[in-house]
Structure 1
Amino acid sequence: MTQARIHDCPLARTAGVIDQWWTLEILHEVLDGHTRFASIRRHLGTPADVLTERIAVLTARGLLETDDTAGPGDPAYRPTGLGRSLRPLLLVMAAFGNHRLAPEDRSVIVVDEETGVAVEPVVVDRLTGRRLDTTGYVFARGPRAGEQVMARYPEVPARRNRPT
């Protein structure tokens, strides 16, 4: 795992957990229900020794765990809570990757499993339901900010009278 330049930056921590592009690729497979080693290998086209090494790294980082109920021969894996917490990031990244493509040019889309209707993932505030990809949302230092974060980000702005 790479060392963050600013140790208390949440973006750097996230990048440190992801570390390599294949982290998201393997997690995507497992979160999509392809939990058996052979299935993951077939979908990704990764040599067995390389995939074994990468899964060991993801297990050591706490993103995957072995599914002991799978039986011998073809091991299975499941995401940990930390691994599952990256699913929204995968969905938003897929939406970003499709953003500039016409609907008919998209190779993978996200759909509602029940209805089959395509959805467009967005990030919203849990309390207000407001989209966060608009103006009016900024980074501010948190209560445990270190020197580098404090130098870069302001204190939390004074609350304005905004509709909720």
Structure 2
Amino acid sequence: MSKTSFEDMNCPIAQTLEQVGEWWSLVILRNAFCGMSRFQEFQQHLGISTSILARRLEKLVDNGILQRQPSHEDARIVHYRLTDKGRSLYPILAAMTLWGEQWAPNPQGARLTLVEKATGLPVAGVGIRAADGRELQPEQITTVAGPGADDKTHALMRIREETA
């Protein structure tokens, strides 16, 4: 049995995947963060079929992650630009990049290194920080059900409490 939609699942992770979890969406966003903006550029670089690319771009636009902008030079040309909502996905892509280099490395060496432009130094990592700036590890964090939590979420939090 395959899950085709997380639309009815009351979970922030599931809802994030509903918007950006399709097979090609995150690599399209990776390319958008690298400055790619035109349909033909995405298609040529990714080797994705035009119909799949059109569907993925449409969904990213419908979800407010990308916006369509006509070119100033030629109104027939459309650019896909990251919105603020789309730009806020960067830490997720950065974390996936760092995770992939550590846990799914290329034997020939790093494929990508995240580097701070101002210093030229590699980015130390992506983490979760406390309100005072300390980096926290997963065992130092708990999850608390909020006002939008449903019965399944409350059950999951009970399991977490029992196994803590």
- Whether 2:119 is the aligned partner of 1:115: answer yes
After TM superposition, list the pairs within 5 Å mapping 1:6-85 onto structure 2: 6-7=9-10, 9-70=11-72, 71-85=74-88
Contact 2:68-2:79 at 8 Å conserved across structures? yes
Q: Secondary structure at the match of 1:94?
A: helix
Contact 1:4–1:13 (CA under 8 A) maintained in structure 2:
yes
Identify which range, 114-123 or 15-24, moves more after superposition: 114-123
- Which of 94, 99, 102 is equivalent to 1:99? 102
Q: Give the letter for the 1:17 counterpart.
A: Q
Any conservation in 1 of the 2:70–2:77 contact (CA below 8 Å)? no
- Alpha-carbon distance in structure 2 between the residues aligned to 1:3 and 1:86: 19
Number of residue equivalences: 154
Q: Residues 123 and 131 of structure 1 are in contact (CA less than 8 Å); yes or no, is this contact kept in structure 2?
A: yes
AA partner of residue 60 (structure 2): L
**Distance 1:126-1:41 versus aligned 2 partners, 3 A rule:** farther
Please give the alpha-carbon distance, in whole angstroms, between the structure 2 residues aligned to 1:32 and 1:68.
19
RMSD of aligned C-alpha atoms?
2.5
Paired position in structure 2 for 1:128: 132
After alignment, is 99-108 or 70-79 more displaced? 99-108
- Normalising to structure 1: TM-score of the pair? 0.79
CA–CA distance in 1 between the matches of 2:8 and 2:136? 26
Task: Specify every segment of 5 or more residues in structure 1 that has no aligned partner in the other structure, as ranges.
Answer: 158-164
Q: Deviations over 1:104-147 (max 9, x none)?
A: 71111111122222113222326221223342112221232111
SS at match of 1:78: strand
Q: TM-score, normalised by structure 2?
A: 0.79
Secondary structure (helix, strand or coil) at the match of 1:28 reads: helix
Structure 2 counterpart of 1:147, from 130, 151, 157: 151
